[in-house]
Amino acid sequence: MAVWFITGAARGLGAEITRAALASGHSVVAAARDPRSVREAFPDAGAQLLPVALDVTDAGQVQAAVDAGVEAFGRIDVLVNNAGRGLLGAVEEASDAEVRAVYETNVFGLLSVTRAVLPLLRAQRSGHVVNLSSVGGFVSSPGWGIYTSTKFAVEGFSESMALELAPLGIGVTLVEPGYFRTDFLDSSSLHEAAVAIEDYAGGPAGAMRTTAEQVNHRQPGDPTKAGPAIVSVIDSGRAPLRLQLGSDCVASVEAKLVAVRTELDAWREVAASTDHDDVGAVAG
């Protein structure tokens, strides 16, 4: 059995991944801001579970949590970067401080944990890194521009990591969930831009603020199915680079692929009617 290190393990998808990993016989280093909440969530896990305190934006806590996991179980085989926070609002509405706070957790915090674990995986010449992205890491939408930009960043460096780590026997998978019935839309995870600009109120960004409130805990995806799906895919040894979860995610991805094809066709039309070599090169 493997040792899983899971961030944001006390609730949401993190808790469901933890539950599924334990049910599959794995040991889990379950990291959360309050480790007591982890033990309360899994009171019967016993020695199979190690709750550790972790704020991913605190480099000292990151290394301490990883060290504790190795001391308890001797190794780490699967890293699940699940901890994250959201920001809802039009791009212009988001302050510099609000943007930086989201990036500190979703991008820099994720990188900090990854840098702490990768030396162990490289020494073992085995392991897997699972980065929780989002359908928003593939296609953005009004009101989510800042949040999805963090997921676009995760997608970009995860693609590079997959190529860099494959020769060392380490896999990388991006999980792209659609809307699941977790507490992501609660105030504990989601923050709204403090400034609301009137010009956006009647448009799609303003409508998204209302929609987020209405769909909270009524999202189509069942998180109790997501955890086992993720664990089973990693356990299979054939995990893909991207794992899309939820029918709404698949539909959004397919729609964007159609849109990109339409854009390429438009460029070809431009290339056919212009003498500019650079445009022709772009259009193929």
Mean pLDDT is highest, among 57-71, 188-202, 236-250, for 57-71
Alpha carbons 167 and 17: distance in angstroms, whole number: 27
Cα separation values, 153 from 33, 249, 263, Å? 24, 18, 23
| 200 tagged catalytic | no
CA-closest candidate to residue 188, choices 83, 117, 110, 276 = 83
Cα separation values, 125 from 161, 167, 244, Å? 15, 9, 27
| 225 tagged catalytic | no
Give the mean model confidence (pLDDT) for residues 232-257: 89
Q: What is the pLDDT of residues 167-187, one digit of tens each?
A: 999 999 999 987 654 555 545
**Domain coordinates in residue numbering, the chain:** 3-245, 247-284
Q: How confident is the model at residue 217 (pLDDT cuts 50, 70, 90)?
A: very low
Q: Identify the CATH assignment for 3-245 out of 3.40.50.300, 3.30.460.10, 3.50.50.60, 3.40.50.720.
A: 3.40.50.720
> Active-site residue among 147, 149, 158, 252?
147
> Active-site residue among 27, 133, 140, 158?
133
**What global pTM score does this model have?**
0.89
Contact 6, 29 (CB under 8 A): yes
| 147 tagged catalytic | yes
Q: How confident is the model at residue 188 (pLDDT cuts 50, 70, 90)?
A: low
> Active-site residue among 112, 149, 151, 200?
151
